[in-house]
Structure 1
Amino acid sequence: MKLLSTAIIAITAATLSFSPVAADDTNTIAASGSFTGANDHITTGGVQIVKTADGGAVVILDSDFSLDGAPDPRVGLGKDGEYVAATDLGKLQNLTGVQVYVVPPSVNVDDFNEVYIWCLQFNVSLGSADIS
C-alpha cells in the first residue's frame, strides 16, 4: 500500500484548510486498505484512516485512488459488508487523486472496518476497502 510519503495531512477545523505536517506520535495512521470495485464499477487505490493530534479523525484517499464515474458518489464507513448511512462523510470531491474527509466527532472510526464509495442516488456500493 502506498502511503502519502512521510507527511500526513492535518485539518484545521476552523478553516478546513489542509497543510502537511511531519508524521509523529500525535498524528497516526490508524488503519489502511485498498479499494475494490462493486456493481460493475471500477474503484481502485488506497485509503487511510488518520487520527489527528486533537483526537479527531480523517479519511484520506491516496494519490492512486480512482473511480470510473457514477451519479452522486459519496464517501462513508461500514462494517462487515454493510454500509452505514449515518457515516456519510460527503460527496466524492474528484474521481481521482488525494482527497481528505473529516470524520465528525459523533462517529467512532474504531467501530468500522470498511470505507465505502457509495452511490446515494441508486443506494449501491461503487467500491469498498477493508481497513485494518
Structure 2
Amino acid sequence: MLITRRHFAGLTLAAAATALGAAPSFAASDIRKGTLSGRQGYTVSGTVKIKKKDGKTVVHLADDYLFDPSKNPPDIKIGFGNGEQYAKGSKIHDKLTVKKGAASFEVPAGINTDDFQELYIYCEQFSVILGVAPLK
C-alpha cells in the first residue's frame, strides 16, 4: 500500500484529534436511518435517512417510500418526537404532497434531530400520527 504525504498528513491530524478527545470526521455526512410503518389504519412504508453535511440536516424519503394512495388527510407533515409523541415545533415543512418515491426536505436550523428517536408523518390539523420511523 502506497501512502502519500497527503494521506500521511491526514492520518496524523486524525490521530491527533482522537488523542485530544475529538472524533475525526472522515465521512462527508452523518446518517441516521429508519423504516416507516403506518398507524391509525394508514399504510405508510419505506426507508428514511437523515443526513448532516456542511451544517445542514436533510430528511430523505427513499425510492421505496409509499403513503396510502387511497387516503387523503388534509394536512400531512413530517416532524420528530419520542415514544410516539410528536414534539411541537419539530415540523420540517408546510405540507407533504409526495405520496410515492424519493423526496428530500431540509430541516430548519432550530431543530436538532439528535434530540429525537422517531420521525413522524402526521396530520397536523387533527393531531394524528399516520406513520412512524424509529431512527438508528
* TM-score where L is the length of structure 1: 0.76
Paired residues of 1:117 and 1:125 also in contact (CA < 8 A): yes
**Highest Rg: 1 or 2?**
2
Report the equivalent of 2:42. Answer: 41
Report the equivalent of 1:9. Answer: none
Shift of 1:112: 0.4
C-alpha distance after superposition, 1:6-53 (max 9, x if no partner): xxxxxxxxxxxxxxxxxx722232x1010110111110001001011x
C-alpha distance after superposition, 1:39-95 (max 9, x if no partner): 11110001001011x122111111111111322110111112211120111111311
Return the alpha-carbon distance in structure 2 between the equivalents of residues 38 and 107 of structure 1.
Answer: 24
Q: Pick the structure with more helix per residue.
A: 2
The within-5 A match list for 1:1-80 is 25-29=27-31, 31-52=32-53, 54-68=54-68, 69=71, 70-80=73-83
Return the alpha-carbon distance in structure 2 between the equivalents of residues 85 and 66 of structure 1.
Answer: 25
Return the alpha-carbon distance in structure 2 between the equivalents of residues 76 and 107 of structure 1.
Answer: 10
Paired residues of 1:118 and 1:126 also in contact (CA < 8 A): yes
Q: Pick the structure with more strand per residue.
A: 1
- Within the candidate set 103, 124, 127, 2:128 is matched to 124
| 2:114 counterpart SS class | helix
Report the equivalent of 1:16. Answer: none
* Percent of aligned positions that are identical: 36
* TM-score where L is the length of structure 2: 0.74
**One-letter amino acid matched to 1:25:** A
5+ residue gaps, structure 1: 1-23
Report the equivalent of 2:92. Answer: 89
| 2:28 counterpart SS class | coil
| 1:110 counterpart SS class | helix
Report the equivalent of 2:16. Answer: none
Paired residues of 1:93 and 1:99 also in contact (CA < 8 A): no
User: Aligned residue pairs: how many?
Assistant: 107
